[in-house]
Amino acid sequence: MNTEKKTLDVCLTPALIENFNTDNTIIVIIDVVRASSTICTAFYYGANEIIPVADKDKALNYKKEGYLIAGERNGEKLEGFDFGNSPFEFMSTDLEGEKIAITTTNGTRNIETVSKHAGIDSKIVIGAFVNYKVLQNYLRSSSKNILLVCSGWKGNVSIEDTIFAGKLVEDLNRFNQYLPTSDAANHALIIYEQAKSDIFGFIMDQSMRFKDKISLLGNDIRYCLKEDATNAIPVLVNGKFINKQEATGN
């Protein structure tokens, strides 16, 4: 066994992050529907930086400092905010050079949880279908270990984030060059294998969260599953995401 192998694992919800050593690790935060996809999209349309904030009032304070603010709770846009959390709202050239503060029901809180646990020489990046190819290249080109952290839903697992993690496990580990450290990676991989022929249909069939929300979220979900719709690699630096397109992963 080559002990030089990098590790590759999946944290099925941020509530389980303490099980993982995240030193020298790229931590990929996954919130497919919708925070990850929205953040990538905003960068693709020219946003300069994106601050995730867990709290609604904190986001409103950023507005006074000239930020655009995006906020959502339970799928609905918050009052007084410039945007909700639909990626379609961020497809505008008006975003060029702008700073955005974003707060979502689930995603931004999870970013806080993960940040607190990030180890020495770790990096936090955003993963989504919409930045799949550039993200995969970025991860492959790095000498660091990889931990895929699914945002899940309200502390528990979510089928769409698990599927995405499984896809990355399959593609990254095609030649068995990474070592999983727990059974969570195979959970994700097995579920992705079952979902991959029709991910949208699978999610709509399986998700507890979206069953009654197809009219509200259907188009967003379709977009969120679109591979490579952007080339953004959001990287967290001092509490803010910037777009590290030119990253080599080191």
**Residues in the site for its own copies, rule: CB under 8 A?**
12-13, 15-16, 18-19, 152-159, 162, 180-184, 186-187, 190-191, 193-194, 206-209
Shortest separation between residue 120's beta carbon and its own copies, angstroms: 21
The minimum distance between CB 33 and its own copies, in angstroms, equals 12
Compute, in degrees rounded to 10, the torsion defined by CA atoms 68, 133, 115, 89: 20
Kindly give the pairing relationship between strand 76-77 and strand 234-237: unpaired
> Which of 100, 184 has the CB closer to its own copies?
184
C-alpha triplet 43, 245, 149: angle, nearest 5°: 75
Q: How far is the CB of 160 from its own copies (least distance, A)?
A: 9
Rounding to the nearest 10 degrees, give the CA dihedral for residues 185, 188, 189, 191.
Answer: 160
Antiparallel, parallel or unpaired: β 234-237 and 25-30? unpaired
Q: Shortest approach of its own copies to residue 11 CB, angstroms?
A: 8
In the chain, the amino acid numbered 36 is S
Measured in degrees and rounded to the nearest 5, phi and psi for residue 33 equal -115, 95
Among 140, 132, 108, which residue's Cα sits nearest to residue 199?
132
Residue 26 · residue 6 · CB < 8 Å: no
As measured in angstroms, the least distance from the Cβ of 161 to its own copies is: 9
Nearer to its own copies, 157 or 232 (CB): 157
Nearer to its own copies, 141 or 156 (CB): 156
Phi/psi-derived region of residue 235, left when phi > 0, alpha when psi is between -120 and 50, beta in every other case: beta
Q: Smallest distance, Å, CB 206 to its own copies?
A: 5
61 versus 156: smaller Cβ distance to its own copies: 156
Question: Which C-beta is closer to its own copies: that of 16 or that of 247?
Answer: 16
- Whole-number Å distance between alpha carbons of 43 and 50: 8
Smallest gap from residue 150 Cβ to its own copies (A): 10
Residue placing its CB nearer to its own copies in the complex, 202 or 241: 202
CA dist list (Å): 52 to 110, 124, 185:
10, 13, 27
141 vs 186, beta carbon nearer its own copies: 186
